[in-house]
Chain A
Amino acid sequence: MEFDEMQKIWDDQRNETLFVINEEAMHNRVKVKKKQANKIVNVTEIGLMIVNSTTAVMLLIDAIRDKEGIYSYAGVVIMLFTVGYLIYIRRKRKKSDQRFDRTILGELDHAISNTTSTIKIGRTMIYWYFIPIAIFIVTKMIYQEASLEKWLLIIGAFLLGSYVANWEIKKCHIPRKRHLESLREKLVE
């Protein structure tokens, strides 16, 4: 079959009758999607900011009230630092939203950039948030001479948290980024 013949077969198709659209259901779904737009990423970023700010305030109150020493204030500083970092990441992401052109390649680059940003936040949370907080809590437990059960519980919680965070990055975000990059290669090859 020559390509012209395929073209004729294509042109003759009756696409309009292939599916029937339920217009009411479609409009309902669009309304729901409208509300969901950007919700996930906003909830993650703003939620983390609120949680970390609240923790910082609580640690500060605790430090002033108990007068336990400099390490209590270190916890406050770490928490405030993570809030600042989240604000920086959020502003950078919003700025980058306008940087990409509206071609398929541009949208793909945008998706790769978003996935890279998610991986970066995930890794930052492990190395620059999890570890300092763990050091802070361990220092506090040494100072308070915590029981063996408490030690095991805290170490277990940190190991589990770190494993889950790593697992999400390795199993979800990195494969997605690789797939997007392979799509990009197919586009530009």
Chain B
Amino acid sequence: MTEEEQQQIFNSWITNHKGLLFKVLRAYAFTLEDQEDLFQEIVAQVWRSIPNFRQESAVTTWLYRIALNIAISWSSKEKKKIDPQSIDGIEHLISENDISSDDRLEWLYGEIKNMNEVDRSLTLLLLDGFSYKEMAEMIGVSESNIGVKIHRIKKELIKRSAKYEYHGV
């Protein structure tokens, strides 16, 4: 594969699947600096992974696996304390768009953020419509194990949503 071909695939993946990457950023990094740092790690790994992509899986599955792998290991690293003044002159990779978001979606992301690293991954995959089989293949554990975890996650989310609705936000 030539570098030009790799570049074309990279551009098309990022353009068509950036939404997926943004979901992972929101679930794992909570400040713009951290989101930028994580985004940088993910896109670098996506680039490196292109020659290994054999089309045995869908691009979304491939990208989710890479993004979640990086996000889980990224969240286990000790974060550097970034001085906001020191990054003023640096070219930023991402910036927030000025859009109004659904409050209920904000609540949902808030709940995902409160989960452990593994449950966050499973919740993203569940909400994005991956089957237990696909999740099991992506994560490397059995389907029944996935089923148990998903059941617990759903139950907890429904329980927490009752509190959210009670407060009438």
Residues of B within 8 A of A102 (CB): 65
Enumerate chain B residues within 8 angstroms of A107, measured Cβ to Cβ: 69, 73
Number of B interface residues at 8 Å Cβ cutoff, please give it.
56
* B92 interface residue per 8 A CB criterion: yes
Kindly identify which residue among A6, A13, A29, A183 contacts B157, using a CB–CB cutoff of 8 Å: A6
Q: Which residues of A contact B93 (CB under 8 A)?
A: 21-22, 25-26, 29
Determine whether A144 belongs to the interface, using a CB cutoff of 8 Å to chain B: no
Chain A contacts for B94, CB-based, 8 A? 19-22
Interface residues of B in 20-75 (CB under 8 A from A): 20, 22-23, 25-26, 35, 40, 43-44, 47-48, 65, 68-69, 72-73
B residues near A25, Cβ cutoff 8 Å: 91-93
Query: Any chain A CB within 8 A of the CB of B165?
Result: yes
Question: A123 at the A/B interface (Cβ < 8 Å)?
Answer: no
Q: Is the interface of B mostly helix, strand, loop or mixed?
A: helix
Q: Assess whether A1 is interfacial by the CB under 8 Å rule.
A: yes
Q: Nearest-CB distance from A121 to chain B (Å)?
A: 19
What range describes how many residues of A lie at the interface? 35 or more
B142 (CB) vs chain A CBs: closest residue: A188
**Distance in angstroms between the alpha carbons of A183 and B99 in the assembled complex:** 34
A18's partner among B47, B97, B104, B108 (CB-CB below 8 A) is B97
Which residue of chain A is the closest to B149 with respect to CB atoms? A189
Total contacts A-B at CB 8 Å: 134
Is A43 an interface position by the 8 A CB rule?
no
Q: Which of B43, B78, B96, B118 contacts A19 (CB 8 A)?
A: B96
Q: Is the CB of B99 within 8 A of A17?
A: yes
A65 on the B face (CB < 8 A): no
In the assembled complex, the Cα of A14 lies from the Cα of B23 at a distance in Å of 10
The answer to the question of A64 belonging to the interface, with a C-beta cut-off of 8 Å to chain B, is: no
Q: Is B12 an interface residue (CB 8 A)?
A: no
A30-38, A54-62, A83-91 - the one binding chain B: A30-38
Residues on B with C-beta less than 8 A from A26 are 14, 40, 43, 93
Interface readout for B148-168 with A: 1 if CB under 8 Å, 0 if not?
Answer: 000000100110011011000
Q: Mark A100-121, 1 if CB is under 8 A from B, else 0.
A: 0111111110010000000000
17 A-B contact pairs sorted by A residue (CB < 8 Å): A1-B104, A3-B157, A6-B157, A15-B22, A21-B93, A22-B95, A28-B91, A30-B44, A33-B47, A103-B138, A104-B68, A104-B140, A106-B140, A107-B73, A176-B77, A183-B76, A187-B141
